[in-house]
Amino acid sequence: VTNAVAAASEVPAATPPGAGSAAGIFNSTVAGFAIGTAWELGALDEINDRGGLDWSDFATRHDLDRAATDSMFAALSAVEVVTRQGSRVEAGPAFKEVYDAKAFFHWLTIGCAELFADMPTVMRNANRVGSFYRRNPVAISYACRDINRQAFDPVFRESLEQLDVDFASVADLGCGSGERLIQLAKAYPGLRGLGIDIAASALRDAEVSVRAAGLADRIQFAEGDARNLRPDPRFAEVELLTCFMMGHDFWPRENCVASLRRLREIFPNARRLLLGDTARTQGIPDPAKPVFTLAFEVAHDLMGAYLPTLREWDEIFEEGGWKCLRARPVEIPTASVIYELA
């Protein structure tokens, strides 16, 4: 009996379990963690740059547990992100698409891990008081850096090139990793930057990155809540405001109107606000949700965080004291846009 059981466990499945099967869903869940991990450990970049790697050698070079490394690649192979032959790992049929979306997986499985793990607790009304959920702000900043690079940055650069006002000082609201300010300071010599974020841990990381880039004399940081900033002498010189992937934190509507108005008061010399964000989608059938959308919307509902639709955004600027000059669409994530507000 023991031998028969052992033999059965070694028989390969004739066809891989499809996405609609329990095994397919189960394996995809494990693979989601493996994708975020393989990216953070450098495996996805190495496979992308060199076409493949030797997992045993990879484990040695990165001082990783051998069995865990082998299993991580097994999880990737289960969903055809890679193929495996002996210790050789190569890009599989799903690699390219998953590589482009790697930061979304990381955001979900590493940045939002605790939120989803606590889903049964978080959903109970009795528990939804105070700080009732936890996420990992440093991991979220890490993922956002890549989401920006792929999705928002090309459209952001276009927005800057077409701005019809000069700016010598910029403040980035919800600056996270500080990457936007670093890129701006590199592109615009002499530009001064101020990063504002509510998460002290993200700011500590951002400061390290700014020092490493040799830009500490031009980029500073302030811990604060962008919804209700306290006056700071540094705010008076700011001519351009940027705010990416946090604008929805200004909502619900009444609060957002108040925050937008307050930004005008507290940054009296800001000529433009470039606001890039992802909105709640409408009307996409559940089985047709594109990558990220489902996770983004479920996470915000779990957190009790309002997520406005694009229509709701369009209808708020005037009341908030800003004039929308342009709305530039961003392809991925679905329902993303950069507003140029004056």
Ligand X SMILES: C[S@@+](CC[C@H](N)C(=O)[O-])C[C@H]1O[C@@H](n2cnc3c(N)ncnc32)[C@H](O)[C@@H]1O
| Binding region for ligand X (CB under 6 A) | 137, 140-141, 144-145, 148, 174-177, 180, 196-199, 202, 225-227, 244-246, 249
Task: Write the single-letter amino acid at 138.
Answer: V
Give dist(CA 299, CA 137) in Å, integer. 14
Minimum Å gap between C-beta 169 and ligand X is: 18
Minimum Å gap between C-beta 7 and ligand X is: 49
Minimum Å gap between C-beta 229 and ligand X is: 8
Residue 176 vs 320, nearer CB to ligand X: 176
Give dist(CA 216, CA 29) in Å, integer. 41
Residue 128 vs 262, nearer CB to ligand X: 262
* Structure tokens belonging to residue 104: 């979304």
Show the 3-state SS of 212-259. Answer: HCCCCCCEEEEECCCCCCCCCHHHHHCCEEEEECCHHHHCCHHHHHHH
Residue 246 vs 257, nearer CB to ligand X: 246
Minimum Å gap between C-beta 83 and ligand X is: 33
Output Rg (C-alpha) for the chain, integer angstroms: 22
Q: Cα 232 to chain center, whole Å?
A: 29
Give dist(CA 5, CA 249) in Å, integer. 53
Strands 240-244 and 219-223: unpaired
Minimum Å gap between C-beta 147 and ligand X is: 7
Residue 59 vs 227, nearer CB to ligand X: 227
Residue 32 vs 174, nearer CB to ligand X: 174
Minimum Å gap between C-beta 144 and ligand X is: 3
Q: Is the dihedral of CA 187, 190, 196, 200 positive or negative?
A: positive
Residue 58 vs 107, nearer CB to ligand X: 107
Minimum Å gap between C-beta 118 and ligand X is: 19
Residue 43 vs 175, nearer CB to ligand X: 175
Q: Residue 72 belongs to what H/E stretch?
A: helix 66-78
Task: Report angle CA 272, 200, 279 to the nearest 5 degrees.
Answer: 45
Q: Maximum CA pair distance of the chain?
A: 80
